[in-house]
């Protein structure tokens, strides 16, 4: 890190000289570009210079303590050292924080999609458990949750469910959940008490803003159909369900939870935009394969990230070898300990890189 700071300061000095040269001043485009670069590195350079100044003062005070001085002077030197050392530590921490890559999606709203994996109806029930876990966690955090799409199976579990989450740090806390979640337990339908293994996949998608993605209307095929809602007086009498196909990528999204076709279309478009943005990011990440392999939250949907073992009351996150024996509490939305461990591991990785 010290070598990086030295190079930054050298570049800062070089930029100051370039910006004051007549040649640069005559070229507005070049001048603006260099001025932006100077602005971007101003803070870390200022912290580095302050760190050097404080370190020099500490060294001078320590040297003075080794020399012959009157008692009053030595007491003052000790007092100043006691103030300078914490100051130096705080500066070093600020510099470290500045070098950690900031996640540009931090603070964004998200869409979470859960699908049953292997294991039939039991996988669908596990998908429902995960949905309940995340919604309870969101409630504990004061986040708002909006159900966007749900398809149930015969056992009452979910074949697929999608919901949006809005609130402070929602993305930062949930972004590590993408991947394959595995459950080991005895299904209620198992007469002999044998433990079964089932899976569900989770995808955490950033809610795109208009500037993130442009979708051409000509690239969409929109179909409407009668949704399979409840019967009786609430029986659907109109084709309110909506299916949208993005023709270039063949991504298909359907929504039927609302009685209004327009509301279903709007929800389907939100999910579609999130999926397309995620696919775009996935392609970019693959181009940076070295970095991708080192990421904790790579978002690889085929990666087994966590096991929920009922007999041992154990939850294990395989990416960081973290285990907690509080299965019931985790499924009730109390997985802060897991998310904190993942956040800490990512921070440490970024500090080393």
Q: What is the pLDDT of residue 353?
A: 61
More confident residue, 284 or 326: 326
What percent of the chain lies above the pLDDT cut of 90?
A: 34
Q: What is the pLDDT of residue 99?
A: 66
Q: What is the pLDDT of residue 287?
A: 52
Nearest CA to 244 among 114, 109, 149?
149
Q: What is the pLDDT of residues 292-322, one digit of tens each?
A: 444 444 444 467 999 999 999 999 999 999 9
More confident residue, 178 or 232: 178
**Strands (E) located in 214-255:** 220-225, 241-246, 251-255
- pLDDT, average across residues 317-338: 95
CB 331 within 8 A of CB 133: yes
Q: What is the pLDDT of residue 312?
A: 95
Q: What is the pLDDT of residue 268?
A: 86
- Going by the DSSP 8-state scheme, the letter that residue 177 receives in this structure is G
Q: Does pLDDT of 334 surpass 50?
A: yes
Q: What is the pLDDT of residue 293?
A: 45
> How far apart (Å, rounded) are the C-alpha atoms in residues 102 and 177?
19
Adjacent-strand bridge partners of 322: 317
Q: What is the pLDDT of residue 102?
A: 57
Q: What is the pLDDT of residue 103?
A: 59
Specify the CATH number of the domain 2-99: 1.20.58
DSSP element (H, E) containing 199: strand 196-206
Least-confidence region, from 5-14, 59-68, 189-198, 295-304: 295-304
* Chain mean pLDDT for the chain: 83
Q: What is the pLDDT of residue 300?
A: 45
Q: Which residue has the tokens 């302050």?
A: 50
DSSP element (H, E) containing 257: none
Q: Does pLDDT of 245 surpass 50?
A: yes
> pTM for this structure?
0.61
Least-confidence region, from 76-80, 120-124, 255-259: 255-259
Q: What is the pLDDT of residue 235?
A: 41
CB 183 within 8 A of CB 201: no
Q: What is the pLDDT of residue 100?
A: 59
> How far apart (Å, rounded) are the C-alpha atoms in residues 153 and 147?
17
- pLDDT, average across residues 7-26: 90
Least-confidence region, from 162-171, 207-216, 337-346: 207-216
Q: How many CB atoms lie within 10 A of CB 57?
A: 16
- Burial-class residue 29 by CB neighbours within 10 Å (0-12, 13-18, 19+): exposed
Q: What is the pLDDT of residues 111-122, one digit of tens each?
A: 999 999 998 889
Q: What is the pLDDT of residue 113?
A: 92
pLDDT band at residue 232 using 50, 70 and 90 as cut-offs: very low
More confident residue, 254 or 192: 254
More confident residue, 327 or 32: 327
Q: What is the pLDDT of residue 290?
A: 46
More confident residue, 234 or 91: 91
Q: Does pLDDT of 140 surpass 80?
A: yes
Q: What is the pLDDT of residue 210?
A: 59
Q: What is the pLDDT of residue 105?
A: 65
Which residues have C-beta within 8 Å of that of residue 154, sequence separation ≥ 6?
Answer: 121
Would you tell me which CATH number, out of the four given (3.60.15.10, 3.20.20.70, 3.40.30.10, 3.30.70.1660), belongs to the domain 110-352?
3.30.70.1660
pLDDT band at residue 270 using 50, 70 and 90 as cut-offs: confident
User: How many distinct helices (H) and strands (E) make up the chain?
Assistant: 10, 11
- Going by the DSSP 8-state scheme, the letter that residue 273 receives in this structure is H
Q: What is the pLDDT of residue 73?
A: 80
More confident residue, 238 or 156: 156
Q: Where are the domains of the chain?
A: 2-99, 110-352
């Amino acid at each position: 890190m010290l070598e990086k700071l030295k190079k930054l300061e050298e570049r800062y000095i070089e930029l100051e000289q370039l910006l004051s040269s007549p040649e640069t001043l005559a070229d507005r485009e070049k001048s603006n570009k260099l001025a932006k670069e100077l602005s971007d590195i101003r803070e870390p350079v200022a912290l580095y210079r302050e760190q050097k100044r404080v370190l020099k003062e500490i060294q001078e005070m320590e040297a003075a303590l080794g020399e012959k001085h009157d008692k009053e002077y030595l007491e003052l030197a000790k007092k100043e050292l006691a103030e300078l050392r914490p100051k130096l530590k705080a500066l070093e921490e600020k510099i470290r924080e500045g070098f950690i890559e900031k996640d540009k999606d931090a603070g964004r709203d998200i869409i979470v999609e859960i699908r049953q994996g292997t294991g039939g109806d039991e996988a669908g029930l596990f998908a429902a458990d995960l949905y309940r876990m995340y919604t309870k966690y969101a409630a504990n955090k004061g986040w708002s949750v909006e159900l966007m799409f749900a398809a149930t199976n015969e056992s009452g579990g979910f074949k697929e469910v999608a919901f949006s989450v809005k609130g402070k740090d929602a993305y930062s806390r949930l972004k590590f959940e993408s991947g394959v979640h595995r459950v080991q337990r005895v299904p209620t339908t198992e007469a002999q008490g044998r433990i079964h293994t089932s899976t569900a996949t989770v995808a955490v998608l950033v809610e795109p803003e208009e500037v993130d993605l442009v979708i051409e209307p000509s690239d969409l095929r929109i179909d409407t159909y009668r949704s399979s809602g409840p019967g009786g007086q609430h029986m659907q009498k109109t084709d309110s369900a909506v299916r949208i196909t993005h023709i270039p990528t063949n991504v298909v999204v359907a929504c039927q939870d609302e009685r209004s076709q327009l509301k279903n279309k709007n929800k389907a478009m939100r999910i579609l935009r999130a999926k397309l943005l995620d696919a775009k990011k996935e392609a970019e990440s693959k181009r940076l394969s070295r970095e991708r392999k080192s990421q904790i939250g790579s978002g690889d949907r085929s990666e087994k990230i966590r096991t929920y073992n009922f007999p041992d009351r154990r939850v294990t996150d395989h990416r960081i070898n973290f285990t907690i024996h509080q299965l019931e509490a985790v499924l009730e939305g109390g997985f802060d300990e897991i998310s904190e461990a993942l956040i800490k591991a990512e921070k440490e990785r970024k500090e080393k890189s």
